[in-house]
Amino acid sequence: MTDFIPKKPISQYSDAQIAALSPSQKLEASRTLLAAGHNYEDIEKRFGANEATSSKGRAQAEKNALKNDKAFVKRYLDGDVDARKKMAALDRIIST
């Protein structure tokens, strides 16, 4: 882990600030921003493509968003087939 934790919106980081980050700091920043709910495409545009913006990263970001969606969680817990299929598909992507 690095000590870089994004504290402001993606758009407020200058190109020079981002260019000064090491690859591991860019990866950590991308992961932190994804976990905070930022769009992976926006992150990839600013910090570049990396492991966090890969299909696994996008799947994890989507799973996190769904887990925070009260309506989705209710459907999932109530046994909704589509909700369960969606979560299973995301889990397959994440686990590969």
* pLDDT given at position 41: 78
Q: How many CB atoms lie within 10 A of CB 70?
A: 8
Residue 9: is its pLDDT beyond 60?
yes
Residue 93: is its pLDDT beyond 90?
no
Residue linked to tokens 């407020």:
12
* pLDDT given at position 2: 47
What is the pTM (predicted TM-score) of this model? Answer: 0.52
Confidence of residue 1 (pLDDT cuts 50, 70, 90): very low
In 6-69, which ranges are continuous DSSP H helix?
15-19, 23-35, 40-47, 55-67
Condensed to tens digits (0 to 9), the pLDDT of residues 11-66 reads 777 888 888 888 888 888 887 787 777 777 788 888 887 776 677 877 888 898 89
Residue 94: is its pLDDT beyond 80?
yes
